[in-house]
Amino acid sequence: MKLKRYRVDSGKKVSLKEFDTRDTGPYEDKEEAAEDLRKDVDRLAELQDVLYARNTHSLLLVFQAMDAAGKDSVIKHVMSGINPQGCQVFSFKAPSAEELDHDFMWRCMKSLPERGRIGIFNRSYYEEVLVVRVHPEYLTAQSLPPEAVKGDLWAKRYEDINNIEKYLVRNGTVVLKFFLHVSKKEQKERFLERIEAPEKNWKFSLTDVKERAHWDEYMKAYEEMLEHTGTSWAPWHVIPADRKWFTRALVARIIIETLEDLDLRYPDLPEKQKAELAAARDVLLHEDSGQPTTGTKGTA
């Protein structure tokens, strides 16, 4: 699959209209994509095991999207094979009073993945240049000092975000960002489904419909965000999201190729630890014989 065409990392102007939300890449149908996804889910589990064992890097996956684009379902499917101990998901909603009392990065920074882990941000600090940009009145609750709001606040936020991401990357966190690009028409279909299917009613929120009315402003905010924060060290990917089965297959592939590029291997133990392993094996193999072994020499 040609992954580069979904990647934004150059600082060039982005026009979301040029990205086809119905694209299904090389796949003719759902089954083909599901077959690849099954293989990739297994492969991801292997790569995650090495990441955990190596303990030098972590992987941060950031998901942003309009409502009903399928963030939850991508996270559920792509991560379905992973050892739960090696993976953490954080969902960022409207900030609490405590969170508003800190800088905007705070709540996300304290949720970053530890070395060896995959951390997933279901929404993130990017809301600060998206929902807050569309609703600048939210800034009032942030009690920012006057100098912070002087000039181009959004340009300053892009710069801060880029710098922080560079710092994270330099210190071993691989940062991958996904914008799930759903069409306005498909969002409407999914909202209607949430209203009509009783088992989906709980997913429906009136606020989502209110936000939909700001669609064009959101698209503009997303385009600017992609242009200014799609960097070589922390690229964005614009993922077609009208076909959920393609969304999942594509996200899985991008994560796998990124992890494979790291070329991590299981740690090779130093000679001293290898000798300790050999001694431990000796102890285990002889524990029922009552015979002293080389491994217990001096301690038996």
Q: Which residues bind Mg ion (CB under 5 A)?
A: 67
Q: Does 138 bind ligand ATP (CB under 6 A)?
A: yes
How many Å apart are CA 19 and CA 13, to the nearest integer?
13
Nearer to ligand ATP, 131 or 219 (CB): 131
Rounded CA-CA distance 72/79 in Å is 11
Is 123 near ligand ATP (CB under 6 A)?
A: yes
Which residue lies nearer to Mg ion by CB, 205 or 294?
Answer: 205
Report the partner that residue 36 touches, choosing among ligand ATP, Mg ion, none (CB closer than 5 to 8 A by kind).
Answer: none
Shorter beta-carbon distance to Mg ion: residue 40 or 67:
67
- The owner of tokens 């299904």 is 24
Beta bridge partners of 197: none
131 binds ligand ATP (CB under 6 A): yes
Q: What are phi and psi of 143, to 5 degrees?
A: 45, 50
85 in contact with ligand ATP (CB under 6 A): no
Instruction: Specify the long-range contacts of residues 25-34, CB closer than 8 Å, at least 24 apart.
Output: 25/1, 25/240, 25/246, 25/249, 25/250, 26/1, 27/245, 27/246, 27/249, 30/243, 30/245, 33/245, 33/246, 33/248, 33/249, 34/245, 34/249
What letter represents residue 5's amino acid?
R
Q: Does 62 bind ligand ATP (CB under 6 A)?
A: no
Amino acid in position 18: E
233 binds, among Mg ion, ligand ATP, none (CB under 5 to 8 A by kind): none
Site for ligand ATP (CB under 6 A): which residue of 25, 86, 95, 116? 95
As a whole number of angstroms, the distance between CA 129 and CA 249 comes to: 28
Tell the smallest beta-carbon distance from residue 190 to ligand ATP (Å): 10
Q: Which is nearer to Mg ion, 66 or 259 (CB)?
A: 66
Least Å distance between CB 263 and ligand ATP? 34
Q: Which of 23, 36, 40, 128 binds ligand ATP (CB under 6 A)?
A: 128
Which residues contact ligand ATP by CB under 6 A?
Answer: 67, 71-72, 91-95, 122-123, 127-128, 131-132, 138, 203, 205
